[in-house]
Amino acid sequence: MIVRVDLGVVEFDLSEPTTALLDRGLEGAVREAHRAAAVEVHAMLETELVGARECPECGAGLSVVKTSRRKIGLLCGPVVVPVRTFGCACGFSSRPLARALPKGRHSLAVLERGLYLATMIGYQRSAETLSHLTAAEISHGTLQRMAKAEAPRIDARIKETTRELYGNGVAPEELVARTRADTLVVAVDGGFVPDRSTGYDFEAKCGVVYGSKAEVSKGRVELVDRVAYAGIEDARTFGERMSVVALEQGMLSAGRTIVIGDGAGWIRRMARDVFPDAVYVLDLYHLKHRIWQVFPEQWEVQVRDEVVSACVAGDPAGALRVLKATKPAQERLEAWRKLLFYIRSNALGIENYTRTDLFGSGCVEKAVDVLISRRFKLRGMSWLKPGAQGMVKLKVLRYNRTWNDHWGSRFTEAA
C-alpha cells in the first residue's frame, strides 16, 4: 500500500534570525508534525485494514464496539494511538490495527538507535543519550531486554548455515574467493566477563578470520577483510560456527589455513575437530608473556631468549631442557611449573612454528578488547549470561560493519 503523509504547514516562531535557532526550531516543529502525522497515519492504516467494514463470517456490517488507546514510543516521542475493536452481531470481533503495531511499546527505529548506543556505553546512559539526541523515551531496562532478545535473531543465519553444514553436509557459499598464494588465518581467544550470578567470570569466545598474502619483498601483508564471530556458548557450537565463517571467508580456495590460539585446551581441541586440515600454532605473544612472567628480571634475559629461540625454532623439547636447567626464584616456582606444563601441552602448536612465518596475531587481541573488554568491564559492571550474549552479538555486528544489513532486514520483517 501507498500512504501519503501530509505534514501540513510546519510553523514556529523564530525569535532571532540565526542558523542555530532555525535548526533547533525546525527540528522541534517537525517533531510535532511527526507526532500528529503518526496518529493520523495509524488511523488511515486502520481504515485500510478494516476494508469494506463487512463481517467476514456473516457479511453483515461491522461497527466499532470499543476504542482502546495504545502508547507507542517513536523517535519524535511517545504518541497515543486509538485502536478500535470492530464487532458484529454474530459475535465476530477484530482489532485490525493491533496487527500493525509493534509488539512492545516502542518502534523498531527507537530500539535500533538505543541498542546502537548501548554497544558503546551502559544501558542507563544509552537511554539518557537517546532521549537527548531524539525525543524518544525508552527505559534502560527495556533496552537491556531488547539486547537479550536480539541475540537469536542475529544468530539465525549462522545457526542455519551451520546446521546445513554439519547436519546435511552442505557447505556454505564462499563469499570471498582466495588464491593458492593466500593464507587464511583463524585467530581464536577468550575474554572474561564478570558474572553477576556467581561473582566470578564467564568466558566469551571470540574469533577473527582474515586473509594474509605472502609478498615476495616486504614480508606478509594482512588484508583488511577481517570478520569476527563471538558468543557466550559451548566450544562445540562456537567451533562449528567459526568453521562456517572460515569457509565463507575462502578457506577452501586459500592455499592453507592457520589456526592461532593462546594455548587453551578448548581451542586446541577445536582446531583438531573442526579445522583438521589447518596448521595449529600457539600464539607467540601469549607464550612470550608466560616466559616473561617466570623470568622478568633484566639479568634473566639470556634464559628468556634461549627459551623463546628454541620455541620459535619449533623445538619444544629444547625449550623444556633450558627451562628445567634454570629454576627461577622461589616465589616464581609455581609459575615455572605451570610454564613447563604449558609448553608440554602445547608442543604441537610450537612445533608448527617451522611450518609458517605467522606466529601470532595482534588482531584477535584487539578484537577481544573491542568486543569484550571495553563494554563488559565498564565501571565495575557485571552481567548475566543471556544479557551478555545479546550484547556480544550486537558488538559483532558493529565490528563486522553488518549492523545496517541486520537492521535493514529487521525493518523489512517487522510490524
Which CB, 55 or 339, lies closer to Zn ion?
Answer: 55
Output 60 or 170, the one with its CB closest to Zn ion. Answer: 60
How near is the Cβ of 9 to Zn ion at its closest, in Å? 43
In the complex, the smallest distance separating the C-beta of residue 63 from Zn ion, rounded to whole angstroms, is 11
Asked if 154 contacts 146 with a C-beta cutoff of 8 angstroms, the reply is no
Of 338, 228, 326, 253, nearest to 293 by C-alpha is 338
Tell me the HSE value of 412 on the side-chain side, using a 13 A CA sphere. 6
Q: Which of 72, 83, 88, 165 binds Zn ion (CB under 5 A)?
A: 88
Q: Does residue 303 come out as left (phi exceeding 0), alpha (psi in the -120 to 50 range) or beta?
A: alpha
Task: State the Cα angle at 287 between 285 and 292, rounded to 5°.
Answer: 95
- The site string for Zn ion over 50-69 (x = CB under 5 A, - otherwise) reads -----x-xx-x---------
Which span sits near Zn ion by CB under 5 A: 80-88, 217-225, 235-243, 354-362?
Answer: 80-88
Determine, following the binding rule CB under 5 A, whether residue 90 of this chain makes contact with Zn ion.
Answer: yes
Rounded CA separation 221/386 (Å):
38
* Binding status of residue 232 toward Zn ion by CB under 5 A: no
Set of cell numbers at residue 200: 566470578
Residue written as grid cell 548501548: 118
| CB 97, min distance to Zn ion, A | 19
Q: Which is nearer to Zn ion, 96 or 231 (CB)?
A: 96
How near is the Cβ of 59 to Zn ion at its closest, in Å?
7
Count CB atoms within 10 A of the CB of residue 310: 20
Min separation Cβ 60 and Zn ion, Å: 5
- Is 202 an interacting residue with respect to Zn ion (CB under 5 A)? no
Return the number of the residue (86 or 280) whose C-beta is nearest Zn ion: 86
Cα–Cα dist 109/72, whole Å: 12
Distance, in Å, from the CA atom of 367 to the CA atom of 230, rounded to the nearest integer, reads 10
Q: Which one of residues 92, 166, 192, 266 is an interface residue with Zn ion (CB under 5 A)?
A: 92
Output 58 or 301, the one with its CB closest to Zn ion: 58
Number of residues that bind Zn ion (CB under 5 A): 7
Smallest gap from residue 64 Cβ to Zn ion (A):
14
Nearest to 371 by CA among 270, 215, 214, 227: 227
Q: Compute the distance between CA of residue 233 and CA of residue 287 in angstroms, rounded to an integer.
A: 26
Cβ proximity to Zn ion, 84 vs 113, nearer residue:
84
Residues that bind Zn ion (CB under 5 A): 55, 57-58, 60, 88, 90, 92
